[in-house]
Amino acid sequence: MMDFIIKFAQAHETFRIPEIEALATIENIPLKIIQSDEASPICIVQLPSADAAKKLIRRSIMAQSIHELWGSGKNMEELNESVRATSSTEWPRYKNSSFKFVFDSYQGSRSKSSQLSVINNFQYLPFEGPIIMKNPDEIFTILELWPWNSVPMGVEHPDYYHLGRFIANSARDVVLKFDLKKRQYISTTSMDSELALITANIALAAPGKIFYDPFVGTGSFPIACAHFGAVSWGSDIDGRSIRGEGNEKSLKGNFGQYDIQSFLGDVFAADVTNSPICRRRVWDGIVCDPPYGVREGLRVLGIKDPEKTPWLVERGLKHGMEFDYVPPKKPYSFLAILDDILVLAVETLVDNGRLSFWMPTANEEDQQISAPAHPSLEIVANCVQVFNKWSRRLITYRRRPDSEVSKEALELYADREIISEVGTTANELNPFRRGYFRKFQSDS
């Protein structure tokens, strides 16, 4: 095993390790996290080889690059000692290679003369090849971690140094390819490309797998899964969001824009509680962003009060199969929709298949909504995107094989109190909506 430095993008810090661990699972690469800190973009890992490092990073969205670790230290003296002790056996391999040194400084910077002074500290390296600034054989990166606000404070030296041999860049530039600003068809709830791609990675989307989004909207998650080679299906309670405005401005038109039509299985109108999908163990992954019910209350197909509106029942029986029929909807509990998603996953995911879905919650601990649980599902990642007074979490579960789930646990779950909230209005059925409009202020 060898030590490597992963340089992360300074964003969505809680998503970093879950994505890298998921990529190691996809690529079947042994991975050990040696050092990681959400306050720093540097992560040190152990991997079998440089080839394994390239495979690990090649589809990462959160990482920027990966480097073979040659040494670390709090100052130049420590760094040089570490480089000699750690990497001296590697030096002969690069004796005649062309090379250059570059700086990657976090929270600080150096003048050109200061950079040259640091580079001259490595004159003991027995490199005889030419220094080439454009496309050299090897790039050696000096990664510096400076204290916060170091430039205006006049700090002269960083807190820590790493020297790494560059191995590969990540796939982070693909975020721009799928940027919503360039997409032909979106809605107000379309998930931005970066988070959709990260979700697909954590859910283990890959060639040969099939994925499903029960709240497909304009197709952000199926598009991300398709980019990584998975074939995706989707459904939505509102068929208009799928059909859009025509051939190009539609969900299928989005797939055409990126030339990935062959990775779209099909899409159809249905809600999660009234779905034509057979409850068989077929999906490798389920990825979705369920509605939060803030702008409008959550709804499912059905009639709120059949006795008071019998004509709605009659109309459905008579015209339900017609193309332009719009079925009635009834209010739905926010907590119930989370529970129903888990039940869908348990009944349709293959062994070790993953469910990744987003859910909102307050930041205040006493107002937070707990992640739903099921004995057949194990939480493998809980990532958070923080806003002002609330957050949304990407919660990822692994479908446990039945052999890992005890009958007692399943019986207790079956006998649990069924989730229901008293009331019929949007606010009464949605604790997050209630908190959102009162700005998450405590009742006391």
What stretches in the chain show pLDDT beneath 70?
152-154, 296, 311-320, 417-428, 442-444
Q: Give the C-alpha distances (Å, rounded to integers) separating 195 from 9, 151, 200, 419.
A: 13, 32, 9, 30
Beta carbons within 8 Å of 247's beta carbon, 6+ residues apart:
253, 256
Nearest to 74 by CA among 143, 150, 160: 160
- Asked if 60 and 20 touch (Cβ cutoff 8 Å), the reply is yes
Q: What is residue 314's predicted lDDT score, i.e. its pLDDT? A: 65
Q: E strand or H helix at 16, and its extent? A: helix 16-27
Q: What angle do CA 192, 196, 201 make, to 5 degrees?
A: 155
Q: What is the pTM of this model?
A: 0.92
Residues 301-336 have pLDDT tens digits of: 777 777 777 766 666 656 567 777 777 787 888 888
DSSP state, 107? S
Could you give the CA distance from residue 441 to residue 436 in angstroms, rounded to a whole number? 9
Could you give the CA distance from residue 23 to residue 171 in angstroms, rounded to a whole number? 12
Taken in order 63, 64, 67, 69, the sign of the CA dihedral is negative
Q: What is residue 417's predicted lDDT score, i.e. its pLDDT? A: 65
Q: What is residue 182's predicted lDDT score, i.e. its pLDDT? A: 96
Structure-token pair, residue 313 = 């029942």
Q: What is residue 424's predicted lDDT score, i.e. its pLDDT? A: 63
Give backbone dihedrals phi and psi of 20, rounded to 5 degrees, phi first.
Answer: -65, -40
Taken in order 9, 15, 16, 20, the sign of the CA dihedral is negative
Q: What is residue 317's predicted lDDT score, i.e. its pLDDT? A: 55
Q: What is residue 331's predicted lDDT score, i.e. its pLDDT? A: 80
